[in-house]
Amino acid sequence: KGEVECLIKLFDTLVASSGSHFAAAGLDRNTFRDTLHRAFGMTDDTIMDRVFRIFDRDNDSCISVVEWVEGLSIFLRGTLEERIKYCFEVYDLNGDGYISREEIFQMLKNSLLKQPSEEDPDEGIKDLVDIAMKKMDYDHDGRLSFLDFEKAVRDENLLLEAFGPCLPDTK
């Protein structure tokens, strides 16, 4: 109860300080992204937008206090099962229930640092996509279903955030 009350107070403080015209309804995208950046060190625009979408369950472009508390509950304290589902939803960029090669490529391209010496950095990313597909695509259909992703993460927990950091550090 105490933690939920603290989350609600934090929410109210963030909404009040945002000065947004959404304030009556909740947190807007920019305030939420600023919070992800300041509190959790997130920098990847694609991932932050996806996290916003996952929190914003009713798709009204702002996060209500209930969405805030429920989202942070999974984000900060979720069971492995909840976190697998959350990460899968973040990585499924088009919401079709699968993580495609193109989606993996897009996320890795955004989250990996570019090395100035590389001739074609996209080649290295394509290699990583191939490795991920070999390791995770259990039914060999060329895309990752939720079942593929879940099995891969259960076999190797480090794969939970394989395509970009979308959870806070354990510290």
Q: 72-111 pLDDT, tens per residue? A: 999 999 999 999 999 999 999 999 999 999 999 999 988 7
SS3 content of the chain, % helix, strand, coil (to 5): 65, 5, 30
**Last residue within a domain, chosen from 20, 53, 77:** 77
Please check whether residues 149 and 91 belong to one and the same domain. yes
Please check whether residues 5 and 64 belong to one and the same domain. yes
Q: Is the predicted pLDDT of residue 118 greater than 60, yes or no? A: no
Note the pLDDT of residue 17.
84
Please check whether residues 148 and 91 belong to one and the same domain. yes
Per-residue pLDDT of 6-42, as tens digits, reads 999 999 999 888 776 656 678 999 999 999 999 988 9
Note the pLDDT of residue 150.
97
More confident residue, 115 or 163: 163
Please check whether residues 12 and 71 belong to one and the same domain. yes
Please check whether residues 42 and 113 belong to one and the same domain. no
Query: What is the tally of structural domains in the chain?
Result: 2
Torsion of Cα atoms, 155 then 96 then 92 then 102, to 10°: 100
What is the chain's mean pLDDT, rounded? 90
Please check whether residues 95 and 160 belong to one and the same domain. yes
% residues pLDDT > 70 (the chain): 92
Please check whether residues 92 and 165 belong to one and the same domain. yes
Please check whether residues 89 and 69 belong to one and the same domain. no
Min mean pLDDT across 42-56, 99-113, 150-164 is at 99-113
31 Rama class: left (phi>0) / alpha (psi -120 to 50) / beta: alpha
Note the pLDDT of residue 83.
96
**Last residue within a domain, chosen from 77, 103, 134:** 77
Please check whether residues 166 and 106 belong to one and the same domain. yes
Please check whether residues 34 and 103 belong to one and the same domain. no
Q: Identify any residues that bridge with 27 across adjacent strands, giving them in sequence order.
A: 63
- Sequence length of the chain is 171
Note the pLDDT of residue 66.
95
Note the pLDDT of residue 20.
64
Please check whether residues 143 and 68 belong to one and the same domain. no
Question: Which uninterrupted H or E stretch holds 98?
Answer: strand 98-100
Note the pLDDT of residue 111.
75
% residues pLDDT > 90 (the chain): 73
Q: Is the Cβ–Cβ distance between 29 and 52 less than 8 Å?
A: yes
Torsion of Cα atoms, 9 then 12 then 13 then 17, to 10°: 180
Q: Which phi and psi angles does 147 have, rounded to 5°?
A: -65, -40
**Last residue within a domain, chosen from 77, 97, 112:** 77
Listed in sequence order, the residues at least 6 apart from 135 whose beta carbon sits closer than 8 Å to its beta carbon are: 152, 156, 159
Write the CATH number for 144.
1.10.238.10
Q: Which domain holds residue 7?
A: 1-77
Please check whether residues 72 and 121 belong to one and the same domain. no
